[in-house]
Amino acid sequence: MHAVRESRFKTGDRVLVIGAGPIGMLTAFVLRISGASKVFMIEPNEERYKFAKNLGFKAFRNEEELKDELPEGSADLVFEAVGIGPTMDTAVKYCRIKGQIVVVGVFKKPIPVELQRISFCEIGIIGVRVYRDYDFVISAQMLADHPEIGAVITHRMPFEEAKQAFLTIKKGGPAMKLLLHP
């Protein structure tokens, strides 16, 4: 929610979300509900790719598959939700002239970035993190109006199994969001 609100998103935009993990999926849901004309996703992990496809997103495993549907330099907005160098390269490559890249992924180390294309194409880049208080109210209303977003909660476990829950999430497999309950 926060990433979309902070971006220059407007109804009708063609958007690329890089990464179909929990943050990427939630970002894609918000974009679709908010009126994006198309939400494309890149996700090499087979389980997450299938998850995104099954929820109706135009998901692709890699750039090679994507380029027929979304040519390089044609996304109005790109949300980078992975946090590694190659995905930032993809974001720069697919963002249109005067478009915007929203960095949602958390980079653990510095990366080189192609500043020449960013400068020549006047691409705006913003970083976002976490949320603001008002995002909770809007998110709660959006979830009430669009219960399909709840599909991102793929696992529910009791508090007693918290250690196993964290191991499940750390594996990065089919688990998206895991809900712990009493």
pLDDT, tens digit, 9 for 90 and up, residues 26-47: 999 999 999 999 999 999 999 9
CA distance 21 to 173: 10
For the chain, give every domain's residue range. 2-127
Tell me the whole-structure pTM to 2 decimals.
0.90
Q: Quote the pLDDT of residue 166.
A: 87
Residue type for position 10 = K
CATH architecture of 2-127: 3-Layer(aba) Sandwich (3.40)
CB under 8 Å, gap of 24 or more: what pairs does 59-64 form? 59/20, 63/90, 63/93
| Helix or strand holding residue 42 (H, E) | strand 38-42
CA distance 169 to 151: 16
